[in-house]
Amino acid sequence: MSDCVFCRIVAGEIPARIILKTDTVLAFHDLNPQAPGHALVIPRRHIATLNDASESDRAILGDLMLAGAEVARILGFAESGYRTVTNCNPDGGQTVYHIHLHVLGGRRLSWPPG
């Protein structure tokens, strides 16, 4: 999808501070970090929202979570703790409609989120 900012990052058309690349996912630093460590993990293949994921996406959803844990290890906060979040649609706070996992760490995160 040429008008999708995350597809353009996958295609190398927009720069990103890459943390991890696999056959199926990409992780990079969020442009507007909400914690000392804030990364995004995205599938290479475009899926707009969690609502659009189907049975055939079971493996890629697992890949996102496992890559999230790997990113936390790489960024050094796996043991102290972190949060993974997927926002869905307007009330969930989703602004980029290419599914992604936020990985936030490096400070104590409050709960419940706003």
Residue 37 CA to residue 44 CA, distance in Å, equals 22
Report yes or no: 53 and 61 within 8 Å, Cβ to Cβ. yes
Which residues in 40-59 contact ligand AMP (CB under 6 A)?
40
In the chain, % helix, strand, coil (3-state, to 5) comes to 30, 20, 50
CB 85 within 8 A of CB 102: yes
- By rule CB under 6 A, what string of x and - marks binding of each residue 2-31 to ligand AMP? ---x--------x-x-------------xx
Q: For ligand AMP, which stretch binds (CB under 6 A), given 18-26, 55-63, 69-77, 86-94?
A: 86-94
Under the binding rule (CB under 6 A), the answer on residue 81 touching ligand AMP is no
Tallying the residues shown for the chain, one arrives at 114
Which residues does the annotation mark as catalytic? Answer: 100
User: What does the binding site for ligand AMP look like in residue numbers (CB under 6 A)?
Assistant: 5, 14, 16, 30-32, 40, 87, 93-96
